[in-house]
Structure 1
């Protein structure tokens, strides 16, 4: 895939995942939120909780899952910390980190609490 095609495919995947969460009742708070530590693909709200979502697109869900690196997880944690600093309860805000995998057919698989050890 060329860079532009890959970029647009990624944006389309993020939009599809945002709709998936919206259909489940979560509210999109931010798309491609950027802090000094990096970017978070989607930030959603479920009541007082915040859900941080990393979207990965590849031919298969398995290939997409392999694209989430420990370095990237650390960057997402740092950016999420920046986001939570602006919340009324700050770092005490209930939150989780999901990974949404999108395959070449557009099928979405969400791994809730994907970063939980």
Structure 2
């Protein structure tokens, strides 16, 4: 039988284990060490970075169209609201969807009934806080919009669905 120190595979595997242990120890000390933009935000996966870019693009589009973006990435147990903006006197909850191709129905079609329910629950959760902060406690008229990004094409779909009463 060969000695563990003479087998290149075993040597490589031991080096991998040591490297993994070092990374885990470093991550426990500082979970954001070595991540891109570590001083600003936690590490994001490639898919999360792509989603962040789509939300930034949607935000710029809304602001260029005259809407005032109030909040972004509101998270609660009920779900997440990508963008909250003021369009005229209407409080708008915006879901941003991005797809590379329309092969499976495109970005707009991905906001199905279950997603609409999650958005409505999350909006109901945040509405009292938003009303206090931006509308002096009065509940404003609300609308649910979708910004669908299919490849390079962006479409702002207003009033896509109504929240259940």
Shared fold (TM-score, shorter chain, > 0.5): yes
5 Å matches for 1:35-50?
Answer: 35-50=76-91
Q: Which residue of 1 aligns with 2:141?
A: 94
Q: Which structure's CA Rg is the greater one?
A: 2
Q: CA offsets, 1:73-92, max 9 Å, x none?
A: 101001111221120213xx
Larger RCO: 1 or 2 (CA < 8 Å, sep 6+): 1
5 Å matches for 1:2-21?
Answer: 4-21=45-62
List, as ranges, runs of 4+ consecutive aligned residues in structure 1 with deviation greater than 2 Å: none
Following the alignment from structure 1 to structure 2, what is the Cα–Cα distance between the partners of residues 32 and 94? Answer: 21
Give aligned pairs, total.
112
Once the 2 structures are TM-superposed, how far is the Cα of residue 66 of structure 1 from its aligned partner? 2.4
Q: TM-score, normalised by structure 2?
A: 0.62
Q: TM-score, normalised by structure 1?
A: 0.85
Structure whose residues are more often strand by fraction: 1
- Unaligned segments of structure 2, at least 5 residues: 1-43, 132-136
Equivalent residue for 1:29, pick from 70, 85, 100: 70
